[in-house]
Amino acid sequence: MDHIFFFYFAAVIATTSVLVVALRNPVYSALSLLIMFFHVAGLYVTLHAEFLAAVQIVVYAGAILVLYLFVVMLLSIKSEERYHNQLPVAGLLGVMLCTEVILLLIQSRTAASAPAVSADPVAGAGNTETIGEALYSTYLFPFEVASLILLVAMIGAIILAKKDLNEHVQQ
Amino acid sequence: MTVPLSYYLVLSGFVFLTGVVGVLIRRNIIVILLSVELMLNATNINFVAFSEYFHNVAGQVFVFFALTVAAAEVAIGLAIIIALHRTNSSIYIDDLNLLKR
């Protein structure tokens, strides 16, 4: 049963991620990325990370992708006629690295089959309470740094997108 | 009965490499940023899979930080794209060759 769900989600994720790269129209790319985000959230549910699945849908599909679509519509971009000139080199590199990764992981599958449970297995890992406790005790300092990153990003986005900043500075 | 960890690793490796190829072959900056999102999602799948496998919640906490960085990247990246479109009236990376001229 787990395998069926995994292969369904994996097939859709792989297909839509290829479509994001292959489709010429940026709106279609963004919409297939939306489908991919939903299926990644489904994969998180099968991995017992229900809270992360909800956050994935709310933040990625709800905020980030809407921002992308907003900019695509704002700039009224035409679809690309052709890819970049380095397409053959990049395609060769991608195929080579992909086969390498798959071959390495198939070879090492037997060695990594024994599940190594850590010293303190978190009971019901993935629920909101466990994540919250870890976030506000062990990872308190990175949490504060993350909020600082968000503040800097907010200020930077306002300054970059502001229209006539230089004229105001000169006055 | 559970799915082996290596299946998740193959999936996330494939998605990551798709993102790398997308960054290399596309000319539209918005689609390049979408490919960067693909790569971030691949690492997130890895984090969550290892978190489940080792019964350690740290992996899921780090997905939160990756999410924060992704949100900041999108805000800054799209602001840069809008500024570029305003000055250059083009968002194709072939046209942004001011230093070559």
**ipTM entry:** 0.91
For testing the chain A interface, which of B12, B21, B36 should be mutated: the one with the most A CBs within 10 Å? B21
Q: What angle in degrees, to the nearest 10, is found between the helix axes of A128-137 and B58-88?
A: 80
pLDDT(A111) > 80: no
Q: Over 90: is that where the pLDDT of A130 sits?
A: no
| Total-model pTM | 0.86
Interface touch A157/B30, C-beta < 8 Å: no
Confidence of residue A101 (pLDDT cuts 50, 70, 90): confident
Average of per-residue pLDDT across A151-167: 82
pLDDT beneath 50, residues of chain B: none
Give yes or no for a contact between B91 and B80, defined as CB atoms under 8 angstroms apart: no
Of A29, A48, A150, the CB nearest to B71: A150
Collect all residues of chain A within an 8 Å Cβ-Cβ radius of residue B34. Answer: 20, 26, 29-30, 33, 68
Give the least confident one: A114-123, A148-157, B16-25: A114-123
A88 touches chain B (CB under 8 A): no
The single-letter code of the amino acid at A171 is Q
The pLDDT of residue B1 is 54
Given B25, B35, B71, which is nearest A64 (Cβ)? Answer: B71
pLDDT band at A171 (very low <50, low <70, confident <90, very high): low
Q: What is residue A121's predicted lDDT score, i.e. its pLDDT?
A: 47
Contact A130, A122 (CB under 8 A): yes
How far is Cα A11 from Cα A7, in angstroms, rounded to an integer?
Answer: 6
User: Which residues 6+ apart lie within 8 Å of A144 measured at CB?
Assistant: none
Tell whether A92 lies on the interface with B, counting CB pairs under 8 A: no
Locate A39 and state its tokens. 């299926």
Closest CA to A41 of B7, B92, B95, B45: B45
Is it the case that residue A84 has pLDDT exceeding 80? Answer: no
CA atoms of B44 and B39, how far apart (whole Å): 9
Chain B interface disruption, residue of A46, A47, A48, A60, most B CBs within 10 A: A47
Structure confidence at residue A120 as a pLDDT band (50, 70, 90): very low
* Chain A residues 105-164 with a CB less than 8 Å from chain B: 105-106, 108-109, 112-113, 115-118, 121-122, 125-126, 130-131, 134-135, 138-139, 142, 146, 149-150, 152-154, 156-158, 160-161, 163
**pLDDT averaged over chain A?**
83
A149 has a pLDDT exceeding 60:
yes
Judge contact between B72 and B6, C-beta under 8 A. no
Cβ contact B6–A109 (<8 Å): yes
> Average pLDDT of A99-107?
81
User: In B, which residues are within 8 Å of A56 by CB distance?
Assistant: 44, 67
**A80-84, A90-94, A142-146: the lowest-pLDDT one:** A80-84
Position A68 pLDDT exceeds 60: yes
Neighbours of A69 (CB within 10 A): 17
